[in-house]
Structure 1
Amino acid sequence: MQAIKLREDYIKLGQALKAGGLVDSGVDAKFVIQDGLVKVNQEVEYQRGKKLVHGDIVEYNGEKIKIEK
């Protein structure tokens, strides 16, 4: 599991997928989220703009990202 350090209070889901290298672009993030392939804290998330904060865990394609301060 890799970690993403927050620069601000939160990071949006689409940005986190891109920053973690799980998708190549924001457009790719949009489609995998819309298709229900991404989970946040073990629940499917459909909002690309979902704000992620310290402690959240994102899962996609068998990989996980943890959001840290």
Structure 2
Amino acid sequence: MHIITINFEPVELFKILKFESIVGSGGEAKKRIAEGLVSVNGEVETRKSRKMMSGDMIEFEKRHYELKLP
């Protein structure tokens, strides 16, 4: 499990994927989310702008990430 530190909340899902270099670009992040390849808290998420909070869990390509405030 990888921990992603966020400095404020909420943060849009696609921005986390982009800024943490989980995907190559914001466009790619939006595409992967729209394709249903990203799960949040165990459920497939297709909303690119889903508001993410500390404690939320992301799964993408069999990797798991947890969001935390500093």
What is the TM-score of this pair, normalised by structure 1? 0.91
Q: Which aligned segments of 4 or more residues in structure 1 are displaced greater than 4 angstroms? A: none
Distance 2:2 2:18 in 1: 13
Q: Normalising by the residue count of structure 2, what TM-score does the alignment of the two structures yield?
A: 0.90
- Indicate the RMSD between aligned Cα atoms, in angstroms: 1.0
Identity of aligned residues (%): 33
SS at match of 1:4: strand
Q: Which runs of 5+ in 2 are unaligned?
A: none
Structure 1: which 5+ runs fail to align?
none
Mapped to 2, the partners of 1:62 and 1:21 lie a distance apart of 16
Aligned length: 69
Aligned to 2:15: 15
The residue type equivalent to 2:5 in the other structure is K
